[in-house]
Chain A
């Protein structure tokens, strides 16, 4: 009995530590929580047809588009997405966090690419 409880405890500790500890983009998470989560929700699911889910959004699926939307916002009715003022480095952190958290297969986005996409938005 004791052994089983110990095993269970170990399992829980392992599950919790791997579950919480595998986000390498802490800075990006900070930005997401303060600027994005109140509308797109902590889990990225959005609000039905009013606020897109970041897991399913076609705009968010493409990194170059995602960067433009974050910087320029979207004018839409009845809800609009406000433009976010972010420098290239925090933007890189944010994009990497969103990709890591809400998309199936992604590779890390580099600062150079982000800078190019920022230029292409203007």
Chain B
């Protein structure tokens, strides 16, 4: 009975500790550099312009009023993408009615993933394409851009489907800073991402 009490106290500390981590503003992730005058520059996603599933050109500037979750995928992907897209869909459902939250999926296979194919893919997911963009552009730019989002994307004949890539979901704020990430292949990490989005929203209203 006595040991039971200690376990309870320990459990309480674990809960308190984990709650404490989830208070206050989210950190800005990535390397930061200090200028000569002591000014800190944070890791920022570079500017991008892409064609969306409706063949409309969109850029990161269009997301200045929003926070968004990004991932890298391709429609004919036989490995991790369906799982990652499924987690994106969970996040979409959680913030369906919150206009400030957007989702952005970059294809790493622009040759096959034309806007019309992306339209069909998005249509099958039954989502609002004003809220969730499926974007295509030059593949070399996308492979570079993926690094800004802490993801890896490259062509690799040995990899399933011909591309090697990671499945991180990345949360980006209005200033283009990365504020949180989760493994899109692990459904257990998604609830934390959903909570982090809420934290970021409360920071910005």
Residues of A within 8 A of B (CB): 1-2, 5, 38-39, 41, 47-51, 77-80, 82
Which single residue of chain B is at the shortest CB-CB distance from A43?
B187
- By a CB distance below 8 angstroms, the chain A residues around B1 are 1-2
Q: Is the CB of A48 within 8 A of B89?
A: yes
Asked if A41 meets B83 with Cβ closer than 8 Å, knowing A1-B1, A48-B125, the reply is yes
Would B80 and A79 count as touching, CB distance under 8 A?
no
Is the C-beta of B51 less than 8 angstroms from some C-beta in chain A? no
CB distance from B135 to the nearest CB of A (A): 15
- B182 → chain A closest CB, angstroms: 18
Interchain CB contact (< 8 A) of A50 among B4, B83, B124: B124
- B117 near A49 with CB under 8 A, answer no
* CB–CB B82/A41 < 8 A: yes
Q: How far is the CA of A50 from the CA of B81 in the complex (A)?
A: 12
Report the minimum CB–CB distance from B175 to chain A (whole Å). Answer: 32
Q: How far is the CA of A51 from the CA of B144 in the complex (A)?
A: 30
Q: What number of A-B contacts does a CB cutoff of 8 Å give?
A: 46
Cβ contact of A48, chosen from B80, B83, B120, B124, cutoff 8 A: B124
Instruction: Return 16 A-B CB contacts under 8 Å, by A number.
Output: A1-B1, A38-B78, A38-B79, A38-B82, A39-B82, A41-B83, A47-B85, A49-B126, A50-B125, A77-B120, A78-B75, A78-B117, A78-B120, A79-B75, A79-B76, A79-B121
Interface residue B191 (Cβ < 8 Å from any Cβ of A): no
**A2 shortest CB reach to chain B, Å:** 7
- Return the chain A residue nearest B79 by Cβ: A38
CB-CB under 8 A from B85, the residues of chain A are 47, 50
In whole angstroms, how far apart are the Cα atoms of A61 and B10 in the complex?
49
What's the dominant secondary structure at chain A's contact region? Answer: loop
CB < 8 Å neighbour of B125 from A49, A77, A80:
A49
B82 & A47 in contact (Cβ 8 Å cutoff)? yes
Tell me whether B121 and A50 are in contact (CB under 8 A): yes
**Do A78 and B82 touch across chains, with their CB atoms under 8 A apart?**
no
Q: Which residues of A contact B125 (CB under 8 A)?
A: 47-50
For B78, list chain A residues within 8 Å (CB): 38-39, 82
Q: A1-B1, A47-B86, A48-B126 are in contact. Are A78 and B121 (CB under 8 A)?
A: yes
Cα distance, A88 to B89, chains bound together (Å): 37
Asked if B162 is at the interface of the complex by the 8 Å CB criterion, the answer is: no
A51 contact set on B, CB distance < 8 A: 82
Q: Which of chain B's residues have a CB closer than 8 A to the CB of A39?
A: 78, 82
CB distance from A85 to the nearest CB of B (A): 15
Interface check B123, CB cutoff 8 A: yes
**Nearest neighbor of A40 in chain B, beta-carbon distance:** B82
Chain B residues, Cβ within 8 Å of A38: 78-80, 82-83
CB-CB < 8 A to B123: which residues of A?
49
Q: Which residues of A contact B120 (CB under 8 A)?
A: 77-78
Residues of chain A lying within 8 A (CB to CB) of residue B126: 48-49
| Most central of B4, B79, B124, B126 by chain A CB within 10 Å | B124
